């Protein structure tokens, strides 16, 4: 099964993956890097994961980082250390593809310097997480990336690093007027990190294949969201990988036949961090306004960067696009309880673009920026839905809202999340039984 974000990320995938993992034997990350941030609340204790699959919080579940993920070995060791300090067993259960491209300190320097340069040239920041993810993917596509397998070969590592850093430093110095990254300390640190990282390397595609053959239930865990996808998102305000369900196969080393079910995670409203068009956006600063309600009640702040998230009504025309790209089998609607107490709930059902009606998110970011949303109004509910576990317990208006989302976006609702804890979940159709 694949779990993907249906909007701009932060839909609550981590909690859902964690919940589903109770019935899984393995969890696979297939794209992105430590730009992702998954917050899990287990027994009231908050844990943030960035690179390591959410399955790590379930004892006995195997965790895989596939070839489509870019890995910062420094961050990887930090995250492993944090989990181990909290008593979580990691190294016996985590296997990482040796084909993963590395994120180097110079990628971080390039990411940050580029953002400043865009700003000073009046282009506006992308609003990246500043983790070096974009530059690392650029090197992969340019066929000059260092990969984790290079950590096994010190001389090869030295040669490739020299070549790559020469180029990075040229760009940093001559084009971006930023500080260079020193070769020797970078190399020495990578050699040190290699001692702990190399034992975790494996042929992940083959391991997944073997697990599949044994009848294991495997869960492919997407990071970011469909509208941040490098090809299908609101380009150029996107991340640098394919976040859509189809990439679960290419990013982990198996074919699409291993994927079966696609669960799209849809927040009951919309949020976005960073820049870029967002047709159904509401102002969040005015106390008493709906935007302020979503921002404060939903605690909408970035997990990785701590930035306030932009908030708005649910956009069903954007969801329709996401459900097509992902061939979503079912949706899980998250954070429904955040809407409790609103008198009216609006859903964006399409846009007016240059005088024409459009009912699906356009492909050109400039067009999206000119889209004026068309809304449908639904009644809200005053009762609390927080923590509910059965469909029949939901207020009638909440059920009507969910049914309308399914209708407008073209995909049935499989699950509803009513709070951050594992137990706060309503199941209509269990994805592993779908
Ligand atoms: P990058 O992935 O750091 O290059 O950032 C590119 C865009 O993707 C920015 O708008 C980020 O805010 C956004 N982004 C990256 N990772 C996440 C995530 O996990 N959740 C939400 N937005 C993200």
Each of the 434 residues of the chain gets a pLDDT tens digit; together they read 999 999 999 999 988 998 999 999 999 999 999 999 877 766 666 777 899 998 998 999 999 999 999 999 999 999 999 899 888 999 999 999 999 999 999 999 999 999 999 999 988 899 999 999 999 999 999 999 999 999 999 999 999 999 999 999 999 999 999 999 999 999 999 999 999 999 999 999 999 999 999 999 999 999 999 999 999 999 999 999 999 999 999 999 999 999 999 999 999 999 999 899 999 999 999 999 999 999 999 999 987 778 899 999 999 999 999 999 999 999 999 999 999 999 999 999 999 999 999 999 999 999 999 999 999 999 999 999 999 999 999 999 999 999 999 999 999 999 999 998 889 999 999 999 86
Q: Which of 10, 18, 139, 315 is catalytic?
A: 10
Residue 128 CB less than 6 A away from ligand 1? yes
d(CA 143, CA 153): 18
**Nearest atom of ligand 1 to the alpha carbon of 276:** 10
Question: Which candidate, 43, 45, 44, 36, places its Cα nearest to that of 14?
Answer: 36
Would 2-87+204-433 and 105-200 be classified into the same CATH topology?
A: no
- Could you tell me the distance, in angstroms and rounded to a whole number, from the CA of residue 314 to the centre of ligand 1? 20
pTM: 0.95
- The first and second tokens of residue 99, run together, are 């084909």
For residues 232 and 188, the answer to whether their CB atoms sit within 8 Å is no
Q: Where are the domains of the chain?
A: 2-87+204-433, 105-200
Among protein residues, the one with the nearest Cα to ligand 1's atom 8 is 239
CATH topology of domain 2-87+204-433: Adenylosuccinate Synthetase; Chain A, domain 3 (3.90.170)
Catalytic residue check, 38: yes
CB of 129 closer than 6 angstroms to any ligand 1 atom: yes
Fold of 105-200: Adenylosuccinate Synthetase, subunit A; domain 2 (1.10.300)
Please name the residues in contact with 106: beta carbons below 8 A apart, sequence gap of 6 or more: 132, 135, 164, 165, 168, 169, 172, 181, 186
Evaluate: CB of 190 within 6 angstroms of ligand 1.
Answer: no
Active-site residue identified among 18, 34, 38, 75? 38
Residues linked to residue 220 through DSSP beta bridges, in sequence order: 2, 28
């Amino acid at each position: 099964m694949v779990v993907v974000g249906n909007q701009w990320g932060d839909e609550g995938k981590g909690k859902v993956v964690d919940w589903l993992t109770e019935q899984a034997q393995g969890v696979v990350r297939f794209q992105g890097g430590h730009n992702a941030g998954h917050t899990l609340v287990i027994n009231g204790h908050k844990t943030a994961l960035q690179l390591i699959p959410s399955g790590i919080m379930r004892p006995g579940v195997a965790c895989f980082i596939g070839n489509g993920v870019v890995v910062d070995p420094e961050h990887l060791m930090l995250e492993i250390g944090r989990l181990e300090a909290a008593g979580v067993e990691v190294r016996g259960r985590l296997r990482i593809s040796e084909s993963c491209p590395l994120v180097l300190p110079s990628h971080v320097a390039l990411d940050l310097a580029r953002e400043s340069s865009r700003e000073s040239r009046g282009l506006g920041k992308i609003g990246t997480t500043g983790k070096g993810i974009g530059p690392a993917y650029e090197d992969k596509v340019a066929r000059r990336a260092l990969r984790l397998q290079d950590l096994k070969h010190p001389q090869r590592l030295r040669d490739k690093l020299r070549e790559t850093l020469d180029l990075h430093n040229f760009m940093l110095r001559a084009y971006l007027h930023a500080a260079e990254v020193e070769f020797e300390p970078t190399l020495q640190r990578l050699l040190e990190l290699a001692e702990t990282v190399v034992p975790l390397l494996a042929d992940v595609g083959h391991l997944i294949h073997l697990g599949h053959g044994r009848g294991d239930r495997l869960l492919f865990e997407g990071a970011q969201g469909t509208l941040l996808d490098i090809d299908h998102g609101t380009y150029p305000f996107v991340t640098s990988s394919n976040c859509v369900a189809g990439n679960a196969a290419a990013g982990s080393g198996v074919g699409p036949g291993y994927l079966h079910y696609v669960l799209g995670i849809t927040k009951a409203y919309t949020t976005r961090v960073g820049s870029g068009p967002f047709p159904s956006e509401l102002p969040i600063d005015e106390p008493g306004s709906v935007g302020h309600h979503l921002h404060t009640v939903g605690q909408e702040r970035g997990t990785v960067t701590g930035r306030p998230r932009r908030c708005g009504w649910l956009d069903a025309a954007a969801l329709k696009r996401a459900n097509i790209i992902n061939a979503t089998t079912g949706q899980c609607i998250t954070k429904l309880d955040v809407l409790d107490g609103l008198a009216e709930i609006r859903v964006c059902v399409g846009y007016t673009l240059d005088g024409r009606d459009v009912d699906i998110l356009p492909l050109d970011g400039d067009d999206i920026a000119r889209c004026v949303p068309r809304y449908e109004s639904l009644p809200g509910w005053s009762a609390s839905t927080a923590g509910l576990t059965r469909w029949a317990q939901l207020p009638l208006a909440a059920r009507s809202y969910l049914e309308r989302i399914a209708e407008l976006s073209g995909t049935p609702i499989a699950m509803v999340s009513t709070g951050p804890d594992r137990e706060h979940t309503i199941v209509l159709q269990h994805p592993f039984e779908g």
